[in-house]
Every structure is written in structure tokens, then in C-alpha cells.
Structure 1
Amino acid sequence: MANVGLLYVGAVLLVNGLMLLGRVPARSAAVLNLFVGGLQCVTPTVLIIQAGGDGDAILAASGLYLFGFTYLYVGIVNLAGLEPEGIGWFSCFVAVAAVVYAGLSFWRTADPVFGVIWLCWALLWTLFFLVLGLGVEGLTRFTGWVTVLLSMPTCAVPAFLGMTGGYRSDGWLAVLAAVVGVVLVALAALFATRGRRDARVPVPA
């Protein structure tokens, strides 16, 4: 059930990244954020109820609320035309929590691949904090590209693998995931820099 929610997190991250890049209007993106945010609040609630007091199952489900609250927050703010600073500061909390969940994946649940994925999410929500919470507008394009490029490999791909029984996690796969993450972040920096440079090129009359 958690993998179903993760699949749609990939979709909303893609749309939100395109929103940061100016490709999708904020009010248009808000609707999907509300849908996915609602799903990511209902899913962990059901999982926790079904856990029957199993601490590990409750811990695994608890992280889903970080996404659910983020997307509900984004959807409401965009529809209502509110200021985004609150999302930014909540993203700071999410980023710190993501580092904790990464550590738990590495050392408690023996899932190093998801440890790397949690670290990717920690970076992403840190960027949301910088752009929305602190108003570092110069990072907006970079953040948009990071969001777009990480949306599929950190969400949709592991979700499909989990639903089809193909998900595997070991040290070597974690290293490979980390390398892919670094490459994608580097590509995001390249695309963002190129976009700013192209925007300064005068258009011939």
C-alpha cells in the first residue's frame, strides 16, 4: 500500500518541479498536490491501524505523513494565494526528519538503498527550505530541476519495483543509487546554469 502512495509522490514531485521552472501554473499544480497529499495521509493512517501495535510497522508508516502534509500545505497555499514561507520552514523539519529516517534505513532496517533515497529527499526538502523559507530565489531553477530529475528514480521506480517484487537492497546497489543521485544533481546544476545563461542572451530583432 505504501508503494502505491510513493508512485504518486513521483507524479506530484514532477509537477511541482515543473511549477518551479515556470512550466505549470501554481493553481493548476495545487489540485494534484491536494489529491496526493490526501492519499499520503490516509495511507499511513490505515497502515498504522493495521499494524496492531507493531513498532517497526508504525515507524515505517510514520514517514509518509511528511509527504502528505507537505503536499496538502502546497495545495492549500497555492489555491489560496498565501505566502510560501510556512511551507519552507516545514520543509526544514522534513529535511531533518529525512536524515533520521535515512539513518534508520542504514542501521536499523538494513535497507541501504532507501537510506540513499531518504538522503536525496533530505537534499530536496533542504532546497525547498532555502527557496521558500529563506527566499533564496537564485536556487529556484536548480531546485526545480533537482525535483524533476529525482522524482522518478526516488519515487516511481522503487514503487514499481516494490509492487512487482523486484525491489532489492544491498551495499552495492546503495552505492549505485548514490552515484545516480549525484549525477542527477550535477545535471540539475548544469541545466539551471544553462537556463540562466540562455535567458541573458538577447533575441535578434
Structure 2
Amino acid sequence: MANVGLLYVGAVLFVNALMLLGKIDSKSAGIFNLFVGALQVFTPVYLIMTAQNSWDIFSASGIFLFGFTYLYVGISNLTGNNSSGVGWYSLWVSMLAIGYSIVNFYHFGDIKFGVIWLMWAFLWGLFFLLLAQKRDIGRFTGWVTLIESWATCTIPAFLSMTGLWTHISATVVWIAVLFVLALVTWAWVTTRASHAPVAKSS
């Protein structure tokens, strides 16, 4: 069930990326955020109610971080509210994501999701800078969101549902991380270049 939710997190990040890149209207994206936000609140409630131990509850609790993000974004977009609240909430999510990453690395021995949680920490940190601090990083954040929608959600969820995720080695994970870092670097260089002033001819 969690993998189905993760798949649709990939979908909502994809939609939100296109919104940040100016391809989708914010109210249209807001509606889909409500759909996925509701799913990502229902899913952990079910998982916690059927949990076998405290670590199952811990794993399910992380899903709420994203469910409340999308509900918050959806409501803010549809009502036209100031986005600073979403931005400060994103800072809290980013810091907690680092904690979830550490637990995945050292308690569960799960390198793959340890890395993924770090990538989510970075992305939600960008949301904080964009929405709360009003930094001019909208296009860069859009590109990173687009990249992570596939790298951290859609592809892992699809591979998990087909039973292939467990066969991926740590080496493949680190190669994928390097590829994602290359894409993020490309996004940064491209967006910074688009903001560079054009030299005037004399």
C-alpha cells in the first residue's frame, strides 16, 4: 500500500514541478495536491492501525510529512493564501527527513532509502528557501522537483511493486545518485545562465 502512495507522490511532484516551471496553473495543480494529500494521510493511518511493532509505526509516520505538505499546498493554491507557511513547514520536514535518513542508514541498513530521504531533505529545503525566504530559485526548484519525482518516487515505487527493487545493489544506487547530481548541477547551471544579464553592445 505504501508503494502505491509513493507512486502518486511521484505524480504530484511531477505536476508541482511543471507548475513551478510555468507549465501548469497553480489552482489546477492545487486540486491534484488535495487528491494525493488525502491519499498520503489515509495510507499511514491504515498502516499504523495494522502495524506489528513500533518500527512499523515509525516508518508509516514519515508518510504524513508529505501528505500534509500536499494538503497545505493544495489549499493554499486554491484559496490564494500566502505560501510562507508552507515554506516554514517545509523547513521542519527537511530537518526531520535527515533524521529518517539516518535511521534508514544505521537501524534498517537500507542504503537506498537512506539516500532517498536525504534527497527529499534537500528538496524540501529548496521549498523553504523558495516559499518562506522568497529566494529567486523557482525554475531551479522546479527542475529538481521534476528530477526527484522520478528518481525518488516513481521509479522506486514501480520497481518495488514489480519485485525488482530488492535486486538493486548499492553500487547501482550510488551510480544513480551521481547521475541525479549531474542532472541537478545541469539544472543549476542552466537556470543561473538564464538569469545572467545580457551584455549590451556599445
What range describes the TM-score normalised by the shorter chain of this pair?
A: over 0.9
Q: Is 1:82 paired with 2:81?
A: yes
Percent identity at matched positions? 49
The answer to whether the 8 Å contact 1:5/1:40 transfers is yes
The answer to whether the 8 Å contact 1:112/1:171 transfers is yes
Structure 1 runs of 4+ with >4 Å offset: 199-202
User: TM-score, normalization: structure 1?
Assistant: 0.92
Partner of 2:18: 18
Unaligned runs of 5+ in 2: none
Letter in 1 for 2:27: R
Distance 1:50 1:172, change over 3 A: same
Q: Per the alignment, in what secondary structure is the counterpart of residue 165 of structure 2?
A: coil
Q: Per the alignment, in what secondary structure is the counterpart of residue 137 of structure 2?
A: helix
User: TM-score, normalization: structure 2?
Assistant: 0.93
Q: Relative to structure 2, which stretch is displaced further, 18-27 or 35-44?
A: 18-27
Letter in 1 for 2:73: V
Note the 1:77-116 alignment, pairs <5 A. Answer: 77-116=76-115
Note the 1:31-70 alignment, pairs <5 A. Answer: 31-52=31-52, 54-70=53-69
Partner of 1:192: 191
Q: Is 1:147 paired with 2:154?
A: no
The CA distance in 2 between the partners of 1:118 and 1:177, in whole Å, is 14
Distance 1:177 1:107, change over 3 A: farther
Distance 1:170 1:55, change over 3 A: farther
Partner of 1:6: 6
Q: Is 1:135 paired with 2:108?
A: no
The answer to whether the 8 Å contact 1:21/1:144 transfers is yes
Q: Per the alignment, in what secondary structure is the counterpart of residue 63 of structure 1?
A: helix
Q: CA RMSD in A?
A: 1.7
Q: Relative to structure 2, which stretch is displaced further, 141-150 or 188-197?
A: 188-197
Q: Per the alignment, in what secondary structure is the counterpart of residue 163 of structure 2?
A: coil
Give 1:170 shift.
4.5
The CA distance in 1 between the partners of 2:48 and 2:33, in whole Å, is 23
The number of aligned residues is: 199
